[in-house]
Structure 1
Amino acid sequence: MHNHHFLIDNNLKELTEHSTTTWPIALYHSKIRDHMSGYIPLHWHDEFQFVFILEGEAEFHINEKILNIQQGDGVFINSGCLHMAKDANGTTCTYICLNVSPHFITANELFTTFVHPYMHASQTPFILFNRKDGWPNRIYQCIQIIQRLIEQTPAYYELELNIQLITIWKCLLQNRFQLTYDARKHDRNERMKHMLNWIHEHYHEKVLLQDIAREGQLSRSECCRYFNDILKKSPIHYVNEYRIQQSLILLQKTDLNITEIAYQVGFSSTSYFINIFKRVKNTTPLSYRKSKASFTSN
């Protein structure tokens, strides 16, 4: 098991190269709390993602939905969907995750019929895997086989790997995938990405609600409704949480003092930064820095 920490660009697209082999596929085990933020921050990527919870429970936010996923269950996350995850109910969640490029699922001749339409099925941002249903077990078995193939790389393993991916995809299509498209939901998702992109480019500056709303071509009230519906928080609340997330990097990777960090991530005063940090992380910036330094030295 290893600590998987990914990079995200300004518009929340994950930059981590999802490639465990020479193919556009990655499979890894991780604990949610091992990520730098203590949770998996909001992001999106072009790859399809298959997640199974091995231990504990996780709370996933996918577009506008909040899901609690228990040990043994899992979820498929469609291409381009905003999502985040954190530990749930006081547990430490360990999961296995398979990311795969949609273009690697089938040959080009089959892609336009059996894959591409489903990438844009806005009515299916995710599919829950409930172990009681039976059919998700087949997907989990294929993922276990893929893991062994990647680790052992036997002769012709690339062909066998492709067989397992096609089996996973066929199983998904046969059971739960709704091939429907809602232009309003797609537009809503894209507006949200534009507003988040603007925040991530300007978080270190003075951020006003009307600036965020303008980027989404919305009124201020509509902007607040988008954030409350999708992220379950106000735009300014999100801005402050993102600033805290960026401060974690500076606290761990630099020798800047607390005041310098506060101003670098956009807070107007040190005291306000410390208050927001305590609210988000349940500790002070200085205590957080000391705890991470102690963990690293050990």
Structure 2
Amino acid sequence: MELRVNKEKRELKSHGTYEFPVNISRKRISSYETGSFPWHWHNEVELTLVLSGEIDYRVNDSNYRLREGEGLFCNANALHAGSRVGDSDCDYLSVSFHPRLLGGYEGCVIRRKFVDTIVNGEHPSMPLSPEEEWQKEILETLSRIYRLTQDRSEIFELEVQRLLLGIWGELFSHWEEQSPAPSDPEKIERLRVILAYLHQHYGEKITLEDVAKEVGLCKSECCRFFRRQMRQSLFDYLLDYRIGRSLPLLREGKATVAEVASLVGFSNPAYFSKVFRGRMKRSPREYRLAKGEEQKSA
């Protein structure tokens, strides 16, 4: 599975429909071939419940290690990413929905008092633990919402909306006392700019000077800032991203390995193969052959 985003890192996947803007799904982190989903954002609120295993989840500049039974509220428009912990997998539920599902029409008291207070606030996330009774209720409600998708009744949409309104009421009641310190908007915007630049120019030669210039920092401060925010160096992140972008090209089989290397920003095919093997545990050719066999047997 591959997460599709535009150059600003906004996710392109539809979260439900305009008529019913809700997406309810069960996922495994291993379904992402790199064992992670990259930094992205969307207009929808997202709630996650870990069913088994654990996941490292990041929202703006907050880091969470979510374990079985725990969950997370991720606010609309917050940058977020997730990755596997070691070699273990993680099975989790994701419920994302547009806030307009809750708020009715513009200017109404529900939107102004309850929805906008959270969505337009500065708090990007809230961890959810089964140890807290009200948070446990939210987590159990997420499970109930997922079960509704397995046997859709005539009033499915009404039931989902009712349960989401209940979750929102709990979040609103405890928001200020539970939410972590707000993120620094200037830092988050700077990170967005860096990520957008890397993702737009990954197929070209990128220098640290180029990136630093985009955000008005010196090279050393740009490196420090990126490492603080991302917990890895800018260069390592770029390599990871380039390898991720090479996967669909290798699966398609239209370009040679050397051509794929060039398309994703590697000037040396041998170095591309070395980096690929280090991250994917097999060579680009082995990966292509394995995916070809999977498609034949599917």
Residues 134-213 of structure 1: matches in 2 within 5 Å? Answer: 134-177=133-176, 185-213=184-212
Paired position in structure 2 for 1:129: 128
Instruction: Work out whether residues 252 and 293 of structure 1, in 8 Å CA contact, stay in contact via their aligned partners in 2.
Output: yes
2:43 maps to which of 43, 46, 54: 46
- 1:56 and 1:245 map into 2 onto residues whose CA distance is 23
Match of 1:271 in 2: 270
Shift of 1:261: 0.5
Say if 2:55 and 2:90, in contact at 8 Å, map to a contact too: yes
- Please say if residues 20 and 27 of structure 1, whose CA atoms lie closer than 8 Å, have aligned partners that are also in contact: no
Residue 151 of structure 1, CA deviation: 4.6
Shift of 1:152: 4.0
Structure 1 residue 164 displacement after superposition: 1.2
- How far did 1:27 drift? 0.3
Aligned residue pairs, count: 293
- How far apart, CA to CA, are the structure 1 residues paired with 2:255 and 2:218? 38
Q: Report what 1:10 is aligned to.
A: 7
Q: Which runs of 5+ in 1 are unaligned?
A: none
Distance 2:129 2:287 in 1: 37
Change (3 A) 1:82 1:59: same
What amino acid maps onto 2:146 in structure 1? Q
Indicate the percent of aligned positions where both proteins have the same amino acid: 28
Give the CA deviation at 1:143: 2.4
Contact 1:61 1:67 in 2 (8 A): yes
Identify the residue that residue 111 of structure 1 maps to in structure 2: 111
Q: Distance in 1 between matches of 2:268 and 2:86?
A: 34
For 1:296, the equivalent position in structure 2 comes to 295
Change (3 A) 1:150 1:258: same
Corresponding position: 1:100 with 2:97: yes
- CA apart distance, 1:84: 1.5
Instruction: Check if 1:232 corresponds to 2:228.
Output: no
- Deviation for aligned residue 1:297: 2.5
Deviates more, 1:82-91 or 1:143-152: 143-152
Distance 1:89 1:165, change over 3 A: same
Structure 2 residues without counterparts, runs of 5 or longer:
none
Give the corresponding residue for 1:72.
69
Identify if the C-alpha distance between structure 1 residues 5 and 249 changes in structure 2 by more than 3 Å, giving closer, same or farther: closer
- 1:40 corresponds to which letter in structure 2? F
Q: Answer whether contact 2:11 2:41 (CA < 8 A) is retained.
A: yes
Q: TM-score, normalised by structure 1?
A: 0.90
For 2:192 and 2:280, how far apart are their aligned partners in 1? 25
Separation (CA, whole Å) in 2 of partners of 1:162 and 1:269? 53
1:121, distance to aligned residue in structure 2 (A): 3.0
Query: Superposition RMSD on alpha carbons, in Å?
Result: 2.2
Q: Which moved more, 1:185-194 or 1:168-177?
A: 168-177
Q: Partner residue of 1:253?
A: 252
TM-score for the superposition, normalised by structure 2: 0.90
Matching of residue 59 in structure 1 with residue 56 in structure 2: yes
Task: Please give the alpha-carbon distance, in whole angstroms, between the structure 1 residues aligned to 2:8 and 2:278.
Answer: 25
Once the two structures are TM-superposed, the CA of residue 95 in structure 1 deviates from its matched residue by 0.5
Q: Which moved more, 1:27-36 or 1:146-155?
A: 146-155
Task: Report how far residue 58 of structure 1 moved.
Answer: 1.0
